[in-house]
Structure 1
Amino acid sequence: MSEAQIKDARIRSLMATGILDTEAETAFDDIVRLAALVCKTPIAVVSFVDTDRQWFKAKIGLEVSETPVEMAICRHVLVCDDIEVFPDLTKDPRTTGNLLVTATPSLRFYAGARVDSPDGVPIGSVAVIDTVPRPEGLTAEQSETLLALARQVMAQLDLRAQAARLKDGEDRFRAIADSMPQMVWSTRSDGYHDYYNARWYEFTGTPPGSTDGEGWNGMFHPDDQDRARALWSRSLETGQPYEIEYRLRRHDGVYRWTLGRALPIRDGAGQITRWFGTCTDIDDAKRLAEERELVSQELSHRIKNIFAVISGLISLSARNHPESKAYALALRDRVMALGRAHDFVRPHSKASQPEARAATVFALLTELFAPYDGAGGMRISLVGDDIAIDDRAATPLALIFHELATNASKYGALSAAEGHVAITAELTGDDYRLVWRETGGPTLVGPPAVEGFGSTLSKVSVEGQLGGTLTREWLPEGLRVTMTAPANAYRRPNRFT
């Protein structure tokens, strides 16, 4: 680098420290006192070399606070490795013409240790000065002390840089937090609330600082306060994320449903240092969801009634047209199976909600097999992996297994007293496989000559609605049906989260 480039780099680094023209600080004043005491000199300074001046951050035994850069003996220290010593300033060609030497205060001895900026650029020195020559210079102990004091100056500069970065980070955080639509808050590791952003005070209308500590809980609806405090205490004890819905009092006194969330911040040792959280007004969304749920329940109830009406119409048609009775009854049974599947997964109100049950494959099949002897027990068994389902999978499952059970009771294993059906389920990787196996029924001699409507309907349901495959094996001991489909086809992701 050229001399000009070196100077530019030095000035940039010096400016970045923000040290120039700052008020006196005890830490720096103590450094020059100790330097003068140990080196036994009347003058000691902490100086920095600016563009056209030498500025003293701390000084003892010297009246001026700065000098022109041409008079700065410190600038010669910037190019040394550690300490630069001038035993007699009148005899060194670099300083013989310096006005600080030739005129008042008539300096004669100088020793300086270089000071670097936090980014490693020489910007100043810690120096001891005398008005009489010192041919012996400094002792080894004095030199080591001067170097140590220079390191202390650099440590102070680094602390200032860290503090500046921290303040800048805090300012950035506050600017970001205040620009967010959510209410943002923070607590100490013990859960003491000590920060809220502008949105919190705008929403609640409370004076700044009034909800610090435990004051936040009083802003909740009385019916939600104990629950919120219990959940928050549990998160503080376990370190688990905090999430809750509660009613928060707005500035006009109206309670609004709010989603509260918080996550812990941990240090390198895994200890929680702070909690950061948000409050999101979800009142409008929650009320809209409730309205949609009511509409969904009403539509679902009407669909259930439609199944009943269709089943009734089919039965009536069967009575009026005896020649179509077999077909009509089979169609009615299929419609009723679909109705049971729909009722199993449809939205319910509190009044229509059946007894608690899990929406799973096994639960649905158990309900479908209820009309058959030994449902889910002696004659039809369910073993293996059970998975959750929703309405997407309920319809094809109801059609497929209704057809299998119906045919088994007419022609297969369930038509014999000792017959049995075993259903096994296995979750392998991304696929879910169901195997229907009949035993104890009439001996099979091969597949039927013509594939029935029910078999075709079952295959179409698996391939079209679940994106899977269905195979049949006509074994002598009984029918074996294997149905394989992606596990995620049985339930929409994040439906209940």
Structure 2
Amino acid sequence: MADGHGLETDRAALIARYDLDAGGFATLDQITAFAAALCEAPIALVSIVEEQRQRFLARTGLDAEETPRDVSFCAHAMLGDAIFVVPDATLEPRFADNGLVTGAPFIRFYAGAPLIGGDGTPLGALCVIDDRPRADLTDLQRQGLTLLARQVMVELEGRRRDRAIIDQQEKDAQALFESDRMFRTLADTMPQMVWSTLPDGYHDYYNARWYEFTGMPFGSTDGEGWNGMFHPEDQDRARARWRHSLDTGEPYEIEYRLRHHSGDYRWTLGRALPIRDAEGAIVRWIGTCTDINDQILMVEEREVIAHELSHRIKNIFSVISGLIGLSAREHPEIRAVAADLRDRIMALGRAHDFVRPHSSHSRPDHGEGALWGILEQIFAPYRDALGPRIHFSGDNPAIDDRSATPLALLFHELATNAAKYGALSVLEGKVTIDVKGEDKNIRIDWREEGGPPAVPATSEGFGSRLMQLSVERQLGGRMTRDWRPEGLCLSLWIPARSMSRSPVGRA
């Protein structure tokens, strides 16, 4: 009895999940033996009804392993909710001409308990068969056959779950294999050296680029062998940095010298990031090594050129200062003006040297590329005499070569005036410089305290015009001055974009 092609297709797919071809139905054999004894029937079967046949997973009293579906009694039994009983098949029009009735095993009495899958799909029946007519099963036999049918489904659903678990494990294993194969293929096509480690840091994989670069035999650098590839002077530093990353989970990044297959050591950038599971635990580290030796050589060459160029520019500043000094000696009347001009030129020279490109060996000890750093350079001539009398507070924004020159001239004028007429002209005086972001501007407040009362100039001199030019024309900012009894208070508002091409300041 067919129940639609679509339904049969779905049933076939469901039945396949029970892994029935694997055999191993000893428990079901025990169930059919007990069912036959309980119902006092010579034959008991566990029948699974498929599209063209019914197969007997377990049988007692019958040699056949399967029969065609069109003669199946169980195909009818599986469609109901209760036990399906045929007291005398010869008297039942549906079965009177059935080959299993007219021929062996000469079915007369049939009782079948349906086997229903967990999703409600009919699978077959647990049945008992007799070659003699019977009115029915007893109540105990009905109850027993129903319970045994449920036990059959417990066994089958267990096999289904096991099969599902095995299938998922196989899929996971295949997915892992494919993922690993794709990772290794991708890693071998990358120009960088790629490596991976276990959570404890044990190196278990290197791509082809690693072995090409180092010339080492495959697998020879696994485990701790990798550290021996570094320059002896870099080994302790690299090991300590790697151990820190393993202990903290922080990204690993370091520059070291790695032994090339030629025997030379080449500068390399090493990086690694942790891979974490859903709970956040590190399950693996993936890292790269990038050959940066040529870039470092280029930087060193650029440093040499920059140093030579800077040296020549500073020589020009010195020559100009010398010419000014010579002119002052020949014309004593301009000596004071010449001294101011020479100081301004030397301030420009210090600003130039501060913002020129530096290597790791030539860069300033601190403050590179930031406002406080250049101010310390400008105030250097006053350092011995003034000590800590100039104080910085607030932010420390980035500067570059465009802002260095006007800033140097501006603060040189302020310091010079303070030393001549303001707070720095007396031992008790001091200057505070406070810097903070304000909207899209950098606000700088210069405050003098403890010196002579500030008195506005009766006329605007060259220094004042130079300061105004530096702030307004070159930096695009504005400036206010307040001559207070306790000292000059000057405020600057300079657009952040004029301070540095980089939008990021330093705190």
**Cα pair 1:178 1:197 within 8 Å, conserved:** yes
Distance in 1 of aligned mates of 2:95 and 2:214 = 69
Deviations 1:216-274 (A, max 9, x none): 33333344333323322222222222222223334444433221111112223332211
Deviations 1:403-460 (A, max 9, x none): 1122233444445x46724223143477543211234555456x44543333333334
Q: Which amino acid aligns with 1:139?
A: L
Superposition pairs for residues 337-352 of structure 1, below 5 Å?
Answer: 337-346=347-356
Unmatched runs of 5 consecutive residues or more in structure 2: 36-43, 131-136
Q: Letter of the aligned partner of 2:462 in structure 1?
A: F
Give the superposition deviation at 1:397: 2.6
The residue that corresponds to 2:181 in the other structure is 171
**2:484 aligned with 1:475:** yes
1:425 aligns with 2:434: yes
- Equivalence for 2:197: 187
DSSP-derived class of the 1:269 partner: coil
Change in Cα spacing, 1:374 to 1:247, as seen in structure 2 (3 Å) is closer
Partner of 2:235: 225
Instruction: Let me know the Cα RMSD of the aligned residues.
Output: 5.1
Q: What does 1:268-417 align with in structure 2 at a 5 Å threshold?
A: 268-346=278-356, 356-359=365-368, 361-372=371-382, 376-377=386-387, 380-385=389-394, 387=396, 389=398, 391-392=400-401, 393-415=403-425, 417=426
Question: How far 1:382 sits from its partner (Å)?
Answer: 0.7
Residue 159 (structure 1) shift: 3.2
The answer to whether structure 1 residue 459 and structure 2 residue 468 are counterparts is yes
Q: Does 1:139 align with 2:147?
A: yes
Asked if the contact 1:71/1:100 (under 8 Å) is kept, the reply is: yes
After TM superposition, the score normalised by the length of structure 1 is 0.72
Aligned-residue offset at 1:334: 0.8
Distance in 2, Cα, partners of 1:493 & 1:374: 35
Q: Which amino acid aligns with 2:413?
A: E
Secondary structure of the residue that 1:371 maps to in structure 2? helix
Quote the offset at 1:312 in angstroms: 1.1
Deviation at 1:332, TM superposition (A): 1.5
Give the whole-Å Cα distance in 1 for the aligned partners of 2:399 and 2:287: 33
Q: Which amino acid aligns with 1:287?
A: L
Please point out which of 264, 276, 289 is paired with 1:266: 276
Matches within 5 A, 1:105-254: 112-114=115-117, 132=129, 136=142, 137-139=145-147, 141-142=150-151, 143-254=153-264
Contact 1:467-1:485 at 8 Å conserved across structures: yes
Unaligned runs of 5+ in 1: 117-121
Q: CA deviation at 1:322?
A: 4.3
Computing the radius of gyration from Cα coordinates, the structure with the larger value is 2
Stretch of structure 1 that moved more, 133-142 or 275-284: 133-142
Tell whether the 8 Å contact from 2:398 to 2:500 is kept in structure 1 after alignment: yes
Name the TM-score, length of structure 2 as normaliser. Answer: 0.71
CA contact (8 A) 1:337 1:398 kept: yes
Q: Distance in 1 between matches of 2:334 and 2:77?
A: 111
Q: Contact 1:432–1:485 (CA<8 Å) still a contact in 2?
A: yes
Supply the AA of the counterpart residue of 1:457.
L
Choose 324-333 or 365-374, whichever is displaced more. Answer: 365-374
Match of 1:119 in 2: none
Provide closer, same or farther for how the CA distance between residues 75 and 211 of structure 1 changes in structure 2, counting only shifts above 3 A: farther
Q: Over residues 139-176 of structure 1, what are the superposed CA-to-partner deviations in whole Å (9 max), with x where a residue is unaligned? A: 17514444444333333333333334333333333333
Change (3 A) 1:179 1:131: farther
Provide the C-alpha distance between the structure 2 equivalents of 1:454 and 1:101, rounded to a whole number of angstroms: 124
- Partners of 1:307 and 1:336 within 8 A in 2: yes
